[in-house]
Amino acid sequence: MDAPGAPGPGRKELKIVIVGDGGCGKTSLLMVYSQGSFPEDYAPSVFEKYTASVTVGSKEVTLNLYDTAGQEDYDRLRPLSYQNTHLVLICYDVMNPTSYDNVLIKWFPEVTHFCRGTPMVLIGCKTDLRKDKEQLRKLRAAQLEPIT
């Protein structure tokens, strides 16, 4: 028997939280996956929820995708989103080496502290920009390369 408020028979819900530096591509990733559209304008997220449904075998699974703010101003608020999480997606911007460094400096420690034992997936975002000449020029001017 299902608990009150639980999904119906043969249906499961998963809570997935996405974290990473502000502007690394988290929101765009979730919008493309859940809505099929790429946001043209950047608008920093504070806390948004997206949903998507997938079928695994014969079961329908609802993915509740929680977009978090990566900016330092939200470091005290963000941990509230971690409760009862099934999976954490840690994102970085492949065109921003600092974003990648922060995976080990900030995001991995935060997630392991608040989500002990929860599986994590590392995701490199903005891979399409690896071929953008202007972006490559800016990186090279700073003696940097895209993360590969």
pLDDT digits (tens, 9 = 90+) for 106-131: 999 999 999 999 999 999 999 999 99
CATH number of the CATH domain containing 36? 3.40.50.300
Per-residue model confidence (pLDDT) at position 42 = 62
The pTM of this model reads 0.84
Q: Range of 83's domain? A: 11-141
Please tell me the total count of domains within the chain: 1
Taking residue 13's Cβ as centre, other Cβ atoms within 10 Å add up to: 14
DSSP state of 94: T
* CA 19 – CA 29 distance, rounded (Å): 12
On whether residue 67 sits in a domain, the answer given is yes
**Closest residue by Cα to residue 70 from 39, 50, 47:** 47
pLDDT of residue 100: 96
Q: Is residue 2 domain-resident?
A: no
| Residue 1 belongs to some domain of the structure | no
Tokens describing residue 133: 């000449």
Average the pLDDT over each of 7-11, 44-48, 55-59 and give the range with the smallest value: 7-11
Query: Is residue 148 included in any domain, yes or no?
Result: no
Domain assignment present for residue 48? The answer is yes
How high does pLDDT run on average in the chain?
Answer: 87
Instruction: Please check whether residue 32 lies inside any domain of the structure.
Output: yes
Measured at the alpha carbon of residue 81, what is the angle toward residues 98 and 42, in degrees to the nearest 5?
50
User: For residue 82, what pLDDT is reported?
Assistant: 93
> Which pLDDT score, from 0 to 100, does residue 1 have?
37
Strand ranges in the chain using DSSP code E only, listed in sequence order: 11-20, 47-56, 59-68, 87-93, 120-125
In-domain check, residue 39: yes
Q: Is residue 4 part of a domain?
A: no
